[in-house]
Amino acid sequence: MDVYGLLGNPVAHSLSPPMHEAAYERLGVDARYVSFEPPVDAGQQAVESAATLGVAGLNVTIPFKRDVLGAVEPDDLAARIGAVNTIDLGSDPPTGHNTDATGLRRALEHHDVALAGRAVVVGAGGAGRAAAFALADEGVHVDIANRTVRKATELAAAVNESGGEAAPHPLDALGDLLANADLLVNATSVGMETDRSPVPRAALHGRLAVVDAVYTPVETRLLREAAAAGATTVDGAWMLLYQGVEAFERWTGRDAPVTAMNDALRARLD
């Protein structure tokens, strides 16, 4: 039996175990998915211990996504993003990947949203970095708006250095930026567990596709207001689903049972 797991702190409410276990059950894969909660300063050590114990693969969440870079060989995308959320322990050294980025791309493809034109990414933390590189690598021009403008400036510079096209902005530029945008990604935590939106309602319009990385609640205020403005909306559970799908496929080499994983996820979200 193969053991996979999640490294995070806290992990109690993670949706990854039921999502992956649903996939094993559907395909008859002899595997289990376990949550691990090491001390917050022991991320690297936890990866090394998991490798010693024969764990086959790990997902990584807050607060370890950067720390584990020291214990793995990151692929090009994860190295540029500066964060790893999926580790393949089947190789020596273990390899690190960022399926938040590829998950966002697949969530957009699932909704027939074209990866082209101009995107506005709000946020420059872990999710913002993943979104900016994911889109820029597809040739999308990315405007990055963040509360702390310095972080948007650093991220835009990193995207431009790797051959993409990005520009930094303060949050109060959102109105102007969105007027000419095709895609909006909320990669801030605004809207999580609260009925708030990081984007002024008046800036939303029907030519936009709007993705919210926040998935608690699934229908955020931003998505409600975007739908009312006639925009195409993609909720954060799709991104969460496809980062898990990508991890499953990397670890097992098999096509993921996407519908079974989605059903397991949605059954636990409101």
- Residues assigned a catalytic role: 65
SS3 at position 122:
strand
Site map 127..166 versus ligand NAP, x via CB under 6 A:
xx-----------------xxx--x---------------
Q: Across the beta sheet with 166-169, what order do the strands follow? A: 166-169, 141-145, 118-122, 183-186, 209-212, 232-234
178 part of the interface to ligand NAP, by CB under 6 A: no
Place of tokens 């993003």: 81
CB of 59 to ligand NAP, least distance (A): 11
Strands 141-145 and 95-97: unpaired
Helix, strand counts (H, E) of the chain: 10, 12
Could you tell me the smallest distance in angstroms from the CB atom of residue 112 to ligand NAP? 19
Site map for ligand NAP, 62-101, x if CB under 6 A? --------------------------------------x-
Smallest CA-to-CA distance from 45 within 29, 68, 66, 63 is with: 68
| Residue 123 engages ligand NAP in binding (rule: CB under 6 A) | yes
CA dist 6 → 59, 60, 64, 131, 151 (Å)? 5, 6, 11, 22, 28
Helix, strand, or coil (residue 118): strand
Q: How many CA atoms within 13 Å lie on the side-chain side of 211?
A: 35
Residue 43 or 51: which CB sits closer to ligand NAP?
A: 43
* Shortest CB 210 distance to ligand NAP, Å: 14
Residue 99 vs 252, nearer CB to ligand NAP = 99
Give the residue, chosen from 240, 245, 247, 258, that forms a contact with ligand NAP under the rule CB under 6 A. Answer: 240
Instruction: By CB under 6 A, tell whether 173 contacts ligand NAP.
Output: no
Binding site for ligand NAP (CB under 6 A): 100, 103, 123-128, 146-148, 151, 187-190, 192, 198, 213-215, 236, 239-240, 243
